Structure 1
Amino acid sequence: MVSEGKAFTLSDEELAQFHRNGYIGPFDLYEAEEMAAHLQALRPKLINTKKAVYGGGKTVSGVTNLSNYDRHLDIDFLAEHITRPEIVDRVSSILGPDTLCWRSEFFPKYPGDEGTDWHQADNFSNVAGSKHPQIVWPEDADFGGTITVWTAFTDASIDMGCLQFIPGSHKSMNYDESKVMDYNPDLINNQEKSGVRRGFFGYDYRQLQKDPNWSPDESKAVSQVMRQGQFIIFWSTLMHASHPHAGKTDQMRLGFAGRYLPTSVRVYPHSDALAEFGGAASLEKFGNVLTSGRDNFGHNRFVQTTVNGYRFPVRDGVPA
């Protein structure tokens, strides 16, 4: 499915704002009642991981696996979601006409859960077991990272753990992704930074700091309160975090992130498996989804999702 229309292209003013701050939004996508109905229908499909591309991924200490990754490849609603013109038109106005979605992830936050620590991601090698970059931009590219489109599948208030950004921080990296972080599941919900309960899914992101004495200027942080059904767009290199879930409600906060790149970027060029966050899985069934334009490079694997759940290799947006 490829977006043809450009009804939702960012204006010049919006593009200037995005390049200045590193993010833009939130934008309306679904009405709250509509999103709630989609989520209710989605829950049993999320539990059934038989068709998930990483459904057979192993766990470490039974803590986690990768079955919440890339569910757009086996769930029709998510396949449609990542290709919605409201999203793709805006993404392609930033990245250019030829774009792909290479990853999607769910980010649940349950009552009492810690916040997510401040972090940036450029090539995503920081948690990969192989330590190889997961994405590689052309050598003459002016920047790296990926565009993340984070959709609030539930309300995301400060008390429920909404996102936080430090505007303008996407222009320089404070972390060295070639460094190694040690995974320790005992750290989950058991860390505190600057008086706030924050962690990084069993890692301590501070291990990657270029300057061990540096700390983010949280006085510049902006909280991104979003209602159910809205989405926000940001560079992965933007300093971002999330508040803890204060537990004032028994409702979880659920975000869904789609990650987009121009087709010139190589995806998993050195890897045939994922090994991160305590889980591991083969990339044998993985494929990118062409979301706009064409693939003129031929160095990435593409798949096409259909309403019947079948996946075909595609070339230039056409099933091979």
Structure 2
Amino acid sequence: MPKLTQSQVKGFEEDGFVFPVDALTQDRAAELRDTVLTHLADCHRQGGARAALAFGPKVHLMAEWAHRLVRRPELLEIAESMLGPDILVWGTQIFVKEPGGKTDLAWHQDALTYDLDSEGRLAAFRVWLALTPTSVENGTLRFAAATHRDGIRTHRRTPGLRGMMRGDEAAFDEHDFVRHDVVLRPGQCSLHNMLVVHGSGLNRTKDTRVAFAIDYLAPSVRPSGGEDSALLVQGRDAYGHFVLEQPPSDDLGDEAMARCGDAVGMRMARLQAAEAERKKSGALVHG
């Protein structure tokens, strides 16, 4: 099973990210790609909350396949290499970039909007798992090395600029940093610090790009400004900072959707309050 080397952990500490990390076989990644696309089609067909929450932020509470994925031994070994034996999952998201070059993602920091207080440098990180090949041509992730060292930057909200999916754009000169494009085969992943500045490009190919993201946390992480929830996937939670989530008993069932909706509502209420505070402080401005 994959386990990060000391060199990989050191690279993460220095640059704010590491890739490629082998996680799943290409055959397993292809199966998951088909499962993800079927999940999205089912959610769209059923509509309502299922359609609204299909891409995340807590797919692991909607569907058994996603819950099984975040607990896969290969991924838990990676998480344990970073966090230690006690591991929470805070969020899961599906990223689909359709062909034709219609959407890109501004340079930004996840930490701006996640409002998670970490005790230690390796208390929280994101796994970005490729389920199809990723390349510069299909708009893969790009990281600006070592940008996690300077804390949270001011971001400018510019809705619709260059077709961005998200308009929170970090204030920094990308020419001052080394850019790394995340080229992966299916089944490989990148790991990144939630403070590192990153974005993605346009998909200029004829093929759909599919990835699945998992936010792994140490239980020492504390949500700022209100109550939040997370799923304990290994070890124990000796802190109690999060309401512990219950796994789904089926895919898209009424009980699973009710729990997912409650968890997402709790999270969004906290994050909306935190965003209001950022606007007051000037950390987020409108362009």
Aligned-CA RMSD value: 3.2
Deviation digits for residues 279-303 of structure 1 (CA, Å, limit 9, x no counterpart)? xxxxxxxx41112210111231112
The yes-or-no answer on 1:253 pairing with 2:241 is no
Contact 1:116 1:243 (8 Å CA) reproduced:
yes
Equivalent residue for 1:205? 169
Per-residue deviation at 1:253?
A: 0.8
Contact 1:288 1:301 (8 Å CA) reproduced:
yes
Equivalent AA in structure 2 for residue 30 of structure 1: L
Distance, in Å, in 1 between the alignment partners of 2:202 and 2:183 is 13
Deviation digits for residues 68-96 of structure 1 (CA, Å, limit 9, x no counterpart)? 11111122221111112222222222223
Equivalent residue for 1:56? 49
Contact 1:145 1:236 (8 Å CA) reproduced:
no
Contact 2:140 2:181 (8 Å CA) reproduced:
yes
Distance, in Å, in 1 between the alignment partners of 2:54 and 2:88 is 21
Deviation digits for residues 3-29 of structure 1 (CA, Å, limit 9, x no counterpart)? xxxx54323222222212222222233
Distance, in Å, in 2 between the alignment partners of 1:84 and 1:8 is 11
More helix by share: 2
Equivalent residue for 1:263? 219
Q: Structure 1: which 5+ residue stretches go unaligned?
A: 1-6, 58-63, 126-132, 192-197, 273-286, 314-320
How many pairs align? 252
Contact 2:106 2:166 (8 Å CA) reproduced:
no
Contact 2:108 2:168 (8 Å CA) reproduced:
no
Per-residue deviation at 1:268?
A: 6.5
Aligned with 2:150 (options 165, 168, 172):
172
Q: Structure 2: which 5+ residue stretches go unaligned?
A: 260-287
Contact 2:53 2:59 (8 Å CA) reproduced:
no
The yes-or-no answer on 1:67 pairing with 2:61 is no
Equivalent AA in structure 1 for residue 135 of structure 2: S
Output the TM-score relative to the length of structure 2: 0.75
The yes-or-no answer on 1:94 pairing with 2:82 is yes
Deviation digits for residues 156-201 of structure 1 (CA, Å, limit 9, x no counterpart)? 1111111111222221135137xx736x4xx1xx52xxxxxx73x2
Aligned with 2:127 (options 145, 149, 154):
149
Distance, in Å, in 1 between the alignment partners of 2:120 and 2:32 is 39
Per-residue deviation at 1:152?
A: 0.8
- Identity, in percent, stands at 24
Structure 1 residues 23 and 13, CA gap change in structure 2 (3 angstroms): same
Equivalent residue for 1:136? 117
